Chain A
Amino acid sequence: MIWLDTLVQGVLLGGLYALFAAGLSLVFGIMRLVNLAHGDLIVAAAYLILVLVSLTGLHPIAAALVAAPLMFAAGWLLQRGILNRTLGEDILPPLLVTFGLSVVIQNALLEGFSADSQRLPPGDLATASIAIGPVNLGVLSLLTFASAVAVILVLNFILYRTALGRAFRATSDDPVTARLMGIRPDNVFALATGLAMVVVTIAALYLGMRANFDPAIGPARLIYAFEAVIIGGLGSLWGTLAGGIIIGVAQTLGAAINPEWQILAGHLAFLAVLALRPRGLFPRGGM
Chain B
Amino acid sequence: MAWRSVTRTRASRAAGLAAFLGIAVLAAVPVVASRGLVQDLFFILTMLTLAQLWNLLAGYGGLVSVGQQAFVGIGGYALFGFVALAGIDPLLAVPLGGAVALALALPTAFFVFRLYGAYFAIGTWVIAEVTRLSVAQWKALGGGTGTSLPREATGAMWGLEFVEQATGLRSAAARDAIAYWLALALAVATIAGIYALLRSRRGLALAAVRDNPEAARSVGVDAARIRWIVYLAAAFGTGVTGAVIYLQKARISPDAAFSVTDWTAYVIFVVVIGGIGTIEGPILGILVLFLLQNTLADYGSWYLMALGLIGIAVMLFAPRGLWGLISDRTGLHLFPIRRRLEGGTLPDKER
Binding site for B on A (CB under 8 A): 28, 32-34, 36, 82, 85-86, 91-97, 99-104, 106-108, 110-111, 219-220, 222-223, 226-227, 230, 260, 263-264, 267-268, 270-271, 274-275, 278
Contacts and interface: CB of A to CB of B under 8 A. Distances in A.
Interface in B139-183: none
B311 A223 contact: no
Interface stretch (B4-12, B130-138, B330-338): B130-138
Nearest to A96: B315
28 contacts: A33-B118, A36-B122, A82-B316, A92-B62, A92-B276, A95-B121, A96-B272, A96-B311, A99-B311, A100-B272, A100-B312, A100-B315, A102-B308, A103-B304, A103-B305, A103-B307, A103-B311, A104-B309, A107-B308, A108-B301, A110-B301, A223-B125, A264-B134, A267-B129, A268-B130, A271-B130, A274-B111, A278-B114
A283 B74 CA distance: 34
A267 B111 CA distance: 12
B3 interface: no
A99 to B, nearest CB: 6
Q: Secondary structure of the B side of the interface?
A: helix
A223 B126 contact: yes
A223 B133 CA distance: 14
Given A28-B118, A34-B121, A95-B64, 5 more contacts: A103-B305, A103-B311, A104-B309, A111-B302, A264-B133
Given A91-B118, A226-B126, A97 B305 contact: no
Interface string B256-272: 00001100010011001
Contacts of A28: 118
Interface of B: 58, 62, 64, 66, 110-111, 114-115, 117-119, 121-123, 125-126, 129-130, 133-134, 136-137, 260-261, 265, 268-269, 272, 276, 301-302, 304-305, 307-309, 311-312, 315-316, 319
A142 to B, nearest CB: 29
A34 B315 contact: no
B315 A111 contact: no
A220 to B, nearest CB: 8
Contacts of A107: 301-302, 304-305, 308
Contacts of B114: 274, 278
B126 A100 contact: no
A260 B144 CA distance: 10
B316 A101 contact: no
Contacts of A104: 305, 308-309, 312
Most A-side CB within 10 Å, residue of B125, B269, B308: B308
A14 to B, nearest CB: 18
A219 B126 CA distance: 10
